[in-house]
Amino acid sequence: MTRPRAAGRAGRRIGTLLFSGGLLAACGDPVAPGEPTFRLEQREVFGAPHVPTLVEGLDRAIRITGLLIAPGTGYTVQGELKVLAPRELEVELTATATSAGLPFLKESYYVGTIERLGRGEYTLRVLHMIAATPADTVMTFNNVVLVR
């Protein structure tokens, strides 16, 4: 059995928690999430003939996975996010020769994450570029992505 005084305090605490949680939820959504950020992780793989670029809308983020194939082992892959318009994004993944390397294909499997996005639809383009031959730029994804 709960004493009336203790029940009153518990009720006030729950009411305070509900009110503060509601206030946070009410203030959280209308505020702009800020400038999107881009994080790129990669690793070398061998013998992967072709891996398509896959894009997944997440909670306030977009995940991009795929394979960029460079003409030699001396290439390093870097990524850059360009915000072309409020809901139009472009990710450039560029392989740049950083050393002489060997004349074997370098296959880089990557996972890129665009974070700090608002909810809704975004137009996304993903480009694969080889810095030595920019004319060989390939658009591997160009579509609308729904961010939750």
Transcribe 68-87 into DSSP letters: EEESSTTEEEEEEEEEEETT
pLDDT at 111 over 50: yes
pLDDT digits (tens, 9 = 90+) for 20-31: 344 333 343 444
Per 3-state DSSP, the chain is made up of helix, strand and coil in percentages (nearest 5) of: 20, 50, 30
- Report pLDDT for 47: 87
User: Strand order in 138-147's β-sheet?
Assistant: 75-85, 88-97, 120-130, 138-147
Which of 1-5, 72-76, 143-147 is predicted least confidently? 1-5
pLDDT digits (tens, 9 = 90+) for 39-49: 999 999 988 87
